[in-house]
């Protein structure tokens, strides 16, 4: 009986945490300086023109004209396109990047 109750409480707790993560409001970032004050896993939104693209195995890194790096697990190219990105901040070798949750462009 106690194991069943613990399982139910655990599943409900995980569900609540997932809801909180999904409905977390995103911070709008205009350039790389706006990202420097934010911590990892902060949900952000940004936009810009893709001026550079690097391909690594199963993912791509795009650099926007506002110097923000976007990490995308996508197979399509966005070079030269204006994009609107929602993602979370990651830190790679001391440089902040945005891991893409959704991209439009």
**DSSP secondary structure, 1-31, as one string:** -HHHHHHHHHHHHHHHHHHHHHTPPPEE--S
CATH code that applies to domain 26-104 = 2.40.50.140
Query: What does the pLDDT read at residue 57?
Result: 84
Query: What does the pLDDT read at residue 93?
Result: 87
pLDDT tens digit sequence for 45-86: 999 999 999 998 889 999 999 999 999 998 888 898 999 999
Q: Which residues pair with 89 in a beta bridge?
A: 98
Query: What does the pLDDT read at residue 13?
Result: 92
Provide the phi-psi class of 59: left if phi over 0, else alpha when psi is between -120 and 50, else beta: beta
- E runs forming strands in 31-73: 43-56, 59-64, 69-72
Query: What does the pLDDT read at residue 65?
Result: 92
Statement: the pTM of the whole predicted model exceeds 0.85:
no
Cα 42 to chain center, whole Å? 8
Average pLDDT over residues 78-102: 91
CA distance 47 to 82: 7
């Amino acid at each position: 009986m106690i194991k069943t109750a613990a399982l139910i409480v655990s599943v409900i707790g995980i569900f609540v945490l997932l809801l909180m993560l999904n409905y977390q409001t995103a911070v709008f970032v205009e350039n790389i300086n706006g990202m420097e004050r934010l911590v990892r896993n902060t949900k952000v939104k940004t936009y810009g023109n893709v001026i550079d693209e690097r391909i690594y195995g199963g993912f791509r890194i795009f650099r926007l004209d506002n110097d923000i790096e976007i990490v995308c697990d996508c197979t399509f190219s966005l070079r030269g396109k204006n994009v609107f990105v929602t993602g979370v901040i990651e830190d790679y070798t001391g440089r902040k990047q945005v891991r893409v949750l959704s991209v439009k462009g």
